[in-house]
Every structure is written in C-alpha cells, then in structure tokens.
Structure 1
Amino acid sequence: MVALLGDVIARFAGAATLGLLAAIVVFSPSRAGDTPRRPDERLRRWLARSAQVWFAASVLMTFANPSFVEGIAVAGSFRADAWWLFVTSTASGLAWVASSLAALAIVMLGWWGRGGTSFGLAWLAGAAATVFVAVTGGVSVGLDHDWATDAVGLATLASVTLCSGAVGALVAMAVDPDSRVAAIRRYHRSAPILVGVGAVGYGIGAWQQLAGVSPFATVFGLPVVGGFSLGALLVASWLWRQFAERTSDAASWRRSTSSVARDVVLLTLSLTSLTAATYLSPPRYLVPQSVQINYLGYEMNVPATLARLAGFGRPNLLWLLLAAAAIGLYLWGVVRVTRRGGRWPLSRLLFWLGGWGLTVYLSVSGLWMYSTAVFSWHMLVHMTVNMMVPVLCVLGAPLSLVYAASRARLPGEFVGVQELLGRLTQNRLVRVLLSPPLVWLNYVGSLFLVYFSPLFPWLMRYHWGHQMMLLHFVVAGYAFFALLVGPDRHPWQLPYIVRFALLLSIMPFHAIFAVGIMESRTILGEQFYRSIDVSWVGDLLHNQNIAGQVTWFTGEIPAFVAVIMLAAQWFRSDSSQAAAADLLADAGGSGDELAAYNDMLAELAGRDRG
C-alpha cells in the first residue's frame, strides 16, 4: 500500500511539475529579437513546490518499490549500511533514484532559474526519468517483453507530453486570460496523435501482461479495463471539443476551456487506474519462462544463416517507430517548404532517407534479432548505429529544414520551433556539451567505458538497457559528425583543418578499440552470454575475435564517407572565398587590404595633427 500510494503521488506531482515547465517554455509569449522571457514569479514558486512533492515521493519510492519487489517490509529497507545495495538490487529502484535526482534539479531550478531554455532542458530530464520508471516495471518481464517495454515507454512519453500540454494550457490561461484561445489551439493540435500513441502503447503492454487471459477473468484486468474506458472518454471529449470549435461564439470557447480541464481529470483517473494495475500480479507472472525469454523476451535456438540475417526477423519496435516518425516528419517539412515556393536540395533528402532507411532495415531484419544474442552481430549493428547512420542523417540537415519549414513567431504569440531551437543553441550548458573536447571525449570514450567495464553485461540483461545503449551511441555519433560535416548551423564553427584533425584523431582509437576486442583473453559480457546459453554460437572467445574484425571493418566505411564529404565542403568553401576575393579585386582591392590602407591613412593623419 505504501508503494502504491507513493507511486500515485509521485506520478501526479511529476505530471503537475512537467505541466508547469511546459507553461513556462511552450506557452510563453515570443519577444522581439528571440530574447527569452523571464518566467513568471508565481509559476516558479508553483514549480518549486510541486517538484518538492515529486522529490519527496520519489525518495520514498526508492525504499518502497524495492521492498514491494523483494516482498519485505518497508522498514527493513531503511538500514543505512545496506540502503544503496538494497536500492540497486532492482532496476526499478535505480529508476526512482533517477526520478529523485530529476525532481531535485527542478526544485533548485524553480528557486534560482532564470533562463527559459533551462526549464526546457529540465522538462526533458523529467520526462526521461518518468519513462525510465515505466520501462523498468513489471512490463519488462516474460515473453514478448521487448515489444511491451518499447510500447509502454513510448506510451508513457506520449501521456507525459499530453498531460504537460493540458496542464500547461490551463496554467497559461490562469496566468494570462487573454491567451485562452491560443493556448487551447496549441494543446488541440497534438492531442489526437498523443492519445492514439498512448492507447496503442498501453494496449500492447496490457496484451503482453494478460498472456492470453481475458481482462474480465482476472483481478489484474479490472484496472486495465477501467483505464482504457477512461481513455475512451478522453477520445470522446476530444471529439466534442472539435464540434465546439466549429462555432465561433464565446460560449463555445468557454466549453472548450472546460474540456481541457476535463481532459486533465480523465488523464488523472486513467493513469491512476493503470498505475494500480502495476501492483497487481498479472497472468504473465504465472507462465513459466526460459532464461532466454527472461533476458530477451524470445527464444534464440535457430542458428543464424545468411537468409535469416538478411531477411525479415523480429522487429525492434522502438527503432522502427522512431525511423518512421523521422522520415514522415522530414517529408512533411519538405512539402511545407515546397508549398511556400522554396526548394529543398534532393541530396539532403536522399541522405536523410538513406540514414533512417538503413535504421528501418536493421530494426526489422534478422540482424537485430541475432545481435541481441551473438556478440559479433551485436557489434555490426552497434557500429552501424554509432557511425554510418549518424553520418548520413547529419548530411540531411534536419535543423535547417525545421527553420525553412516553420515561421518566426510575432511578438506576443506563443514561441515556436524556431525560437525554441534558437534559445537551445544559445544555452550555456548546451554549448558546453556540444564543445569539441566533450563531443570528442564522449564519442571515443563511451565505447571503451561501456564495453570494457561491468556496464556492458549489466545493460545487456535488460531490453531497456540495450535500447538506452543504442540511443546513446546514435546521439554521440550525431553530435560528433554534426561538428565535422554537418550543414546545419552549429554553436562551434571550426576551421576545416581542425575538423580534419578531429576526424583523423578518432581513427587510431577506433583501431585500438577493435584490436582490444580481438586480442582480449577475457570474454566481454561473459556472464550474460553464458546465461542465455545460445548453443549454436560455439566458442565465445572465437566469436569475440570475429566481433573485433567486424568492428574495425564497419568503422572504415563511415570514416571514408566523412572524409569525402569534408573534403568536398572544404573545396566548395575555398572556391567561394576565392570567387569573392576576385570580385573584390576587380572592384579595386580586397576588403581586408582596403580596410588596412584606410587604417594606415587615419594613423598618419593623427600623427600630422599631433
């Protein structure tokens, strides 16, 4: 009961906190010159108080949740000498620690924060912590838990965004009644998509947990049915709101305003019901499972062949949906640019489609399925995600497309995508994180840190850990290659000679990493690979040697592509500068020479006057 109560309070306080952050960031008026507006003092006070409740409930859950999972009294978890060991005994305990840290950071931000961009980064941290709590729960157990974990993670992100939008709109209307219409319209635009993603995601999670049992035949199914019934009412509320918006009288807008509050109530009740279901024993727990199903979510007893590797396999739901969304949004942006009379380079479109198309293939082919159980195929997939996919996606210039497809907001309007991106690139923390030394260190060092430490076998034990590892590698790769060959505007504009030096500097470390895998006499992730016991793999050390060779080979192709693109960009830059210099010379001298000559004349004139 303590765990359930603490969980519900933490989720409510987290939703309110993220909604207040959304009110500060997304529902704030734009100002001339893209100057961030200082958050309202009342909102900052509300934010700090809400985050304090979230922090207290999350700290309580670091004790209560492991106690519930381990089946012991909560009082026994408060021993100072065994607290950290007790908390780290479960992944869900670590997730609540992350939730506590995110809430504490937001508390301090509410007290001392000034810049709007910091509040946006805090929202991202809070949303990530909430998703972390969701994917480490009971949904990560049993057959097909890989699909259920991805689905519930995406559904949680959608519900967090939906709650943030609803609460943020209500808060914005309370602070500034004149913004009622704009706040409601902004909330309405994304509500249907978010509701659909949440319903499908939670539906997949419920299907996996029910294990073929009717929801009406088990106690676990009752809160599930209740949650989805409330979700259906949420859809009905949205449909009624669409009808109200078709009329322009003030009474209709008042009804529309009340419907946003009704959405908040329905979301609260629905999430409460679904949270209660996580503290009931689902039918899936009663189904016996093998070690492979426990770790992977499926069996891997069929040996790999070329046909099975290249053909259709078990889809990676998260990466398939991410790729589909990336491709769809990019095409939508290109259409918007075209409709405005602009033109988007075909080469950039092809690069973007190539990067995410490669991701789609990896996520649905047998390569992904076998990469979770065989180290050699694991390294092929991971190095492709770490190098080849980021290089291609960077050359697609997605941020430039966002600027071209969106419009700048007028003063007084709610901030748009252009303003948010502009503020993000000007943020001090973001500039530090994207600085060349840190980007280089993260790109090179994370490989050694993950694979040559106990972190690798620990992450491989969990589907969410494997996905987190992939997300980190693709982000690290994108940040590195965006610094070198990205057409988008970057906070750090480096000379081409420095870019070439950075690109060449990673090659020896990449070779050392590959040779380290090949020459190691210790099996990386030995405990995990011996636990899943894929008999047809054979000698794990020999397979690891193959993995090192694969690592070396897969790193050469993306590096070669980056060298070619960087050389081409450097040549075009020099050609443009040379052409500009020629034009200035034809006009009577270069700009620099003329400025220097004028400075000399001014200095001589000053001496004469003296």
Structure 2
Amino acid sequence: MSAEAEPARSAAAEGSAAGAVSAPSAPASPALSVSPASSVSQRRPRRPAALGPFLLTGGLLSAAVAVGIVVLTGGLSYAVAGLTDPGDVTRYGIMVVRVGADLSAAVSVGSLLLATFLVPPQKSGTLDVDGYAAVRAAGTAAWLWFLFAIASVFFTAADGAGKPVTAVFDPVVLLNYVEAIEQPKGWLITAAVALLLALGCRLVLSWGWTAVLFFLSVGGLLPIAATGHSASGGSHDMATNSLLFHLIGAALWVGGLIALLAHARRRGDHLPLATARFSKLALVCWFVLGASGVVNALVRVAPAQLFTTDYGLVVLAKVVAIAVLGVFGHQHRQRSVREIGDGAGGGAFVRLAAVEVLVMFVTFGLATALARTPPPLEIAAQPSTTELLIGYDLDGPLTLLGVFTEWRFNLVYGTVAIALAALYLAGVRALRRRGDAWPVGRTVAWLSGTAVLLFATSSGLGRYSPAMFSIHMIGHMTLNMMVPILLVLGGPVTLALRALPPSGRGRPPGPREWLLALVHSPIARVLTHPVVALVIFVGSFYVLYYSGLFAVALDQHWAHLAMNAHFLLAGYVFFWPIIGIDPAPRQLPPLGKLGLLMASVPFHAFFGVVLMNMQTVIGESFYRSLDLPWVDGLLADQRVGGGIAWASGELPVLIVMIALLVQWTRSDEREAKRSDRREEATGDAELTAYNAMLKQLAERGAQRD
C-alpha cells in the first residue's frame, strides 16, 4: 500500500450580522443506538454484494505478486540487516498477513467512508439501508483486520528477531520481543483499534457515531506508518510524513472504490450521488498517493538507481500502476456518472470498477514487495547519531539568520498550512464572485496564522526544535498560543457556512450540513466548556513535561507530530470561545471571557518558573545522545526554555486583550445603531415613556410635600 512501509502502512449565510449558526436539520444528533435496526431492516438490499470471492481472489493476487517479486530479488534484506534468516514460513508469511491486513483495513475504511459521506442518512439521522449495509461490511472487514493484525504481531516479532514464527508462540518470548521491537507494538495498537471498530459497527445506527468510527478507522492506519522502517534511519522524518499521506490516500481510494462497487452490486440507492462524490475524492487521493510516493521513494533511492536496482525497478512498476489507475479510474467514473445519470443503471460501473480494483490489488502486491526489498541508499548509508535520532544532521548552532534560512519543509504541518490558506482564499473568492463582502482583517488574521504555522514547523525553528529544549519551547508556545489566536480571528466556520451552498430541502446533506453537525456535536460542546478548555490548555503543560511523557516521546517522530497537533487544537479550543469570530457552541458573557483568559495566566507563569528552577534535565538521556557541541549545558538550555515559557505569554495575552476590546467596542456600536433604528421607527417612544415616568414621580413627590 505504501511505497516503502515495512510492516505496514450563498445564500446560506451565518444567520445574522454577528454570524450566528443555526442548528442543523440533517444529519441529526449523533446519539448511540443499540436498539434493533427497525427502521433499517424494513428495507433490505435487493441483491447481496457477494464480493467475498472477488476480494479473496484479489488478496491472493496481491500476495502472489509480493512473494514473486521478493523471490526474484533474492530476499537480501536479512543479510543487510545482519539478522538470521527466519525461514520460508516467516519470510513469505509476513507478506501474506500484511496483504490481508492492508486489504481488510482498506475495506473497513472505505465502507465507513461510504456510510458517512457518500450516501445520505434518513432525515432522523439514523442510517439508511445503504449506510447500514456498509457499516456491517466495515464490521466484518474490521474483524479480519483484527485477526491479520494479531498475526502480524507474531510475524513481525519473529522477523525482527530472525527466528521462525513458531519460536514466538510462547507468551513470555513474544512479550520480550514486543518490548524490544517497535513494529509488533504498532500492530498491537492497530489490532486494538480494529477490535473497537468491529464492536462499534455492531452497535451504531446513527450518522454521527458512524462518522466517529470512520475517523477512528483512519487513525488505525497511523501506528504502522509510525513504527515501520520508514520511522528509522536517515531522513525518517520525511519518510514517515510522506508515508502517512500515502497510507491514508491509498485506503480511502482503494477502500472507497471497493465499497462503491459493493454498493452498486447490491443496487443501492443514491448511486449517482455516491459515484460523483467518490470521483472527486479519488482524484485528490490519486494526487496525494503519487506525490507522497515520489517523496518516499526519493528518500530511499537516487534517481540514477531507478533502472539499476531491484528496489528502483519495483518503484517504477508501482508508479506505472498508479498512473494507469489514475487515468483509467478518472475516465471510467466520468463515463459511469453520465450513464447512471441517464438511467442506464450501474452495470457498466460494476464491470469497469472490478477491473480497476484488480489493478489496485497488483499495486498492493508491489507495495508489499517494496517493504521487503532493501533500498540501495539504506544499504550504503552510515547515518550519524543525530540523523538516526531526529532524521537529519545539524551543521552548527542556530543563529538569527539561520532561523530564516535553514528550512526543512515539514511535510505534514507545512502542507496543512498551505492547504488551509488555499481553502480560505477559495472561500473568500467564492463570496466575492457572487457580490458578498468579507472583512479584510479576518483574511489577514487567517493567512498570518497559517504563515506562522508554516514558519514554526518548517523554518530553522522547526528544524532545531527536536534537538534543543529551548527551541522546542519557542515552537510549543507559538503553536499553542500565537497560531490559534490568529486562526480563530479568521472566522473559518463562518466563512465556510457562507461560501458553501446548502443542500436544499429534501436533498441529501453535504459539506455545509456536515460542518454544522460538527459545530453542534456533543464533542464540540464538551471541549468548549470553560472548565474543560482551561484544564486542557494549561494542564497539558504539566502532564507532558512533569510526568516523564515528554522524555519518553523525544526519540519518536510520530510523538512530535502528535504533540504539535495537541498544542494547536488545545489552543484553538481555548481561544475560540474567548475571541473567536465563529459563534462557539457555548457562548460566554464578556466578563466570562476575560475571566477565562486571566485564569490561565498564572498557570503559564508558574510553569515557566518551575522549569527555570529545576535541577534535573527533562529527557536528559536523549539530549546527551545527540551530544551537540554548541549546546552550553543541558540544564542551562532547559532554563532558557523555562524563561521563554514564562515570558512568551505576554504578547499573546496583549493581542487577546486588544481583540476583546475591539469586539466589545463594535458590539456597543451595533447596539447603539439598533437602538437608533428602534427610536426612528417608534418616534422616540422609549424616551417619551421615560420622561413621563420622571414627571409622574415628581408629581407624587410634590403631593406628599
């Protein structure tokens, strides 16, 4: 599935001048339902999907391709790694279970994709018969995913230890290998996610919980990317980041097409809508798959070695397969959409999609073979300790000039920053094309936030952040405070609700309705509760750095990605109800906003003071392993980081205070204008009544005298 992964892989406005968001009509509240599928069972598919034999054939084809290529290349990987050959059962069995895990994962992800976004639910928010059938298929695939993941634990442990798989059947031996080798740990986490999916798919009937299961299934792909051999060796930061995109893109594309093929074979409703929606997604996935595959391959093989090495030839074969898939898939889906729209039925789609899926199975096999073929650069390279630990070498101390010149593009957060800026500008353009205005200040705030996100993760700050605690703390404070403040001032939800067209009465819900459902979801209401937001925002500082969690995570690239995501989301959830342009699920009064802001200040200051006075180094073993000659004492560098944490809260608080003052002033101005309009409409009735009351009080006082 991956190019390299070793064990895996306008009307519709905001409602008012203040941007109020109305509650969504569909999908409805995502309540968990465990009652019998009464409304669903009344309508059954007229014809079963019957894709089991087809998928089994495709899985065997993928495994045969993978095994055949490894046999042709001679299984050199064990000699390169210096390990004992574990035998044929382990050598080839690991590829079979990997193909099974990848295929079942893709079917589970794709089926949940179909149920969540490609076919609409009922008006009540309960899944329709097509969504219900897809969820049940996802559940079956999740059970297979779970079994293959458990099998992968045994095979990857045996493969990493250079032992026959029968040698790790002993629980004590297996536990020792799992503790020592990262890949079996990743498969254990994947197995746990697959088990949750399998159980969840038996319980849910509502659209909202189906969406939760879909995002959980996508998350189940990540442990494999984080623990495969992309996550080790030189340039593992770039390899892992590209692999994340690659696995997700492949699962959505392959799994989505298989789910759509099953939907067409059971003659489900809304096939034109599902096909049109998937066609747009497939184009994006094809681009992501191709771009990430190229990046991943260039990390492992030089262009000159593409035609002279086994690894390079397999890469070229996979590139050709993906290119053929992209052209063929796009052409046949465009044709199928027209035929289905003309009432020709889904027969042509089923035939052409089946061929496309078979080509995808071959691509699966090529990807699995790549995972077992040693890259030539990996064979020849002898990376330094610094490159092994953080993915690249550092030439010297970070200077002020180096902050702006020593860039290393972060493939995850750099791409996210560029994509967020592009989507926002597209929304602004859509408004202006239909004659609607959008405040320039909001656009400036949003673009500034994305620029700061790009700078904090890809400039010299992002490059040196994994190696120096003081630089890490600059990045932490920037991502946790400065970036979220700028983003919430951009009002992205309000812009999206104005730019996205509503589905219309009687039509299936679309992106605008999905966004409304997210904003009004119970999860959003809980996270934006003042107490919860405050605890997450300030409590995470203490939990991360003082519990030993940060020290454990330092040598894991995936942990750095997760930390940055937490910093961003925690800051966004905290500042959204305080100064956000978008109406939060929980509205706070002005004094409540100010109080929530001021309540966080002492915790930040105390955190920095404690850091500056600590006598032990957090993550000392990792930083000593780097042994950077220009770091003048680890404790001194940590104290600098504490000073940064203590002092860096001043500027964001000042920005928030200014934003609050401006918002309150504008609110008073709007209230004054509304009052003036009322007076003009009623002829100063309120003032006349007030004067009459004063006159009456004066007369009563005179009578008493």
TM-score by length of 1: 0.89
Q: Given the superposition, is the C-alpha separation of residues 490 and 271 from structure 1 closer, same or farther in structure 2, using an over 3 Å criterion?
A: farther
2: CA distance, partners of 1:426 / 1:453: 34
Tell me the residue number matched to 1:451.
545
Is 1:277–2:370 an aligned residue pair? Answer: yes
Is 1:324–2:415 an aligned residue pair? Answer: no
Q: Decide which moves more: 279-288 or 543-552.
A: 279-288
> Which letter does structure 2 place at the counterpart of 1:36?
G
Match among 105, 113, 119 for residue 28 of structure 1: 119
Tell me the residue number matched to 2:703.
none
Mapped contact 2:414–2:454 kept (Cα < 8 A)? yes
Give matches, 1:179-328, under 5 Å.
179-210=270-301, 214-241=305-332, 244=335, 254-256=347-349, 258-286=351-379, 287-328=381-422
Tell me the residue number matched to 2:79.
none
Secondary structure in 1 aligned to 2:396?
coil
Tell me the residue number matched to 1:524.
618
Q: Note the C-alpha offset of 1:567.
A: 3.1
- Cα RMSD after superposing both structures: 2.8
2: CA distance, partners of 1:117 / 1:183: 18
Match among 513, 516, 526 for residue 422 of structure 1: 516
Deviations 1:401-435 (A, max 9, x none): 11111111135644311111222234334433443
1: CA distance, partners of 2:175 / 2:463: 34
Q: Note the C-alpha offset of 1:461.
A: 0.8
Mapped contact 2:406–2:463 kept (Cα < 8 A)? no
Q: Note the C-alpha offset of 1:578.
A: 5.8
**Percent identity between the two aligned chains:** 29
TM-score by length of 2: 0.78
When the two structures are aligned, how many residues end up with a matched partner? 589
Is 1:121–2:179 an aligned residue pair? Answer: no
Q: Which has the higher helix share?
A: 1
1: CA distance, partners of 2:657 / 2:522: 30
1: CA distance, partners of 2:590 / 2:365: 55
Mapped contact 1:30–1:411 kept (Cα < 8 A)? no
2: CA distance, partners of 1:178 / 1:118: 21
2: CA distance, partners of 1:545 / 1:473: 21
> Which letter does structure 2 place at the counterpart of 1:520?
M
Is 1:560–2:651 an aligned residue pair? Answer: no
2: CA distance, partners of 1:246 / 1:422: 28
Mapped contact 1:23–1:171 kept (Cα < 8 A)? no
Q: Note the C-alpha offset of 1:513.
A: 1.3
Match among 439, 449, 452 for residue 358 of structure 1: 452
2: CA distance, partners of 1:75 / 1:367: 48
2: CA distance, partners of 1:43 / 1:472: 32
Mapped contact 1:336–1:405 kept (Cα < 8 A)? yes
Q: Note the C-alpha offset of 1:447.
A: 1.7
Q: Given the superposition, is the C-alpha separation of residues 502 and 38 from structure 1 closer, same or farther in structure 2, using an over 3 Å criterion?
A: same
Q: Decide which moves more: 480-489 or 389-398.
A: 480-489
> Which letter does structure 2 place at the counterpart of 1:96?
W
Q: Note the C-alpha offset of 1:390.
A: 0.8
Q: Note the C-alpha offset of 1:256.
A: 4.7
1: CA distance, partners of 2:168 / 2:506: 52
Match among 425, 439, 443 for residue 349 of structure 1: 443
Mapped contact 1:173–1:183 kept (Cα < 8 A)? no
Q: Note the C-alpha offset of 1:213.
A: 6.7
Mapped contact 2:121–2:207 kept (Cα < 8 A)? no
Greater RCO (Cα-Cα under 8 Å, separation 6 or more): 2
Q: Decide which moves more: 450-459 or 351-360.
A: 450-459
Mapped contact 2:250–2:289 kept (Cα < 8 A)? yes
Q: Note the C-alpha offset of 1:80.
A: 4.0
Q: Given the superposition, is the C-alpha separation of residues 529 and 43 from structure 1 closer, same or farther in structure 2, using an over 3 Å criterion?
A: same
Is 1:538–2:632 an aligned residue pair? Answer: yes
2: CA distance, partners of 1:295 / 1:185: 45
1: CA distance, partners of 2:651 / 2:321: 51
Give matches, 1:477-488, under 5 Å.
477-488=571-582
> Which letter does structure 2 place at the counterpart of 1:505?
A
Tell me the residue number matched to 2:467.
373
1: CA distance, partners of 2:251 / 2:574: 30
Q: Given the superposition, is the C-alpha separation of residues 578 and 55 from structure 1 closer, same or farther in structure 2, using an over 3 Å criterion?
A: farther
Q: Given the superposition, is the C-alpha separation of residues 225 and 340 from structure 1 closer, same or farther in structure 2, using an over 3 Å criterion?
A: same
Give matches, 1:100-179, under 5 Å.
100-179=191-270
Q: Decide which moves more: 250-259 or 395-404.
A: 250-259
2: CA distance, partners of 1:278 / 1:114: 38
Q: Decide which moves more: 160-169 or 212-221.
A: 212-221
1: CA distance, partners of 2:176 / 2:613: 34
Mapped contact 2:134–2:259 kept (Cα < 8 A)? no
Q: Given the superposition, is the C-alpha separation of residues 45 and 187 from structure 1 closer, same or farther in structure 2, using an over 3 Å criterion?
A: closer
1: CA distance, partners of 2:536 / 2:293: 34
Q: Note the C-alpha offset of 1:38.
A: 2.3
Q: Which has the larger radius of gyration?
A: 2
Q: Given the superposition, is the C-alpha separation of residues 265 and 458 from structure 1 closer, same or farther in structure 2, using an over 3 Å criterion?
A: farther
2: CA distance, partners of 1:589 / 1:261: 74
Q: Note the C-alpha offset of 1:504.
A: 1.0
1: CA distance, partners of 2:440 / 2:553: 39
2: CA distance, partners of 1:491 / 1:260: 43
Secondary structure in 1 aligned to 2:509?
coil
Deviations 1:458-493 (A, max 9, x none): 322122221221112111111111122212132222
Q: Decide which moves more: 46-55 or 166-175.
A: 166-175
Deviations 1:420-454 (A, max 9, x none): 12222343344334433332222212222222233
Q: Given the superposition, is the C-alpha separation of residues 171 and 117 from structure 1 closer, same or farther in structure 2, using an over 3 Å criterion?
A: farther
Deviations 1:476-529 (A, max 9, x none): 111111122212132222222222221111111111111122111111111111
Secondary structure in 2 aligned to 1:537?
coil
Mapped contact 1:327–1:353 kept (Cα < 8 A)? yes
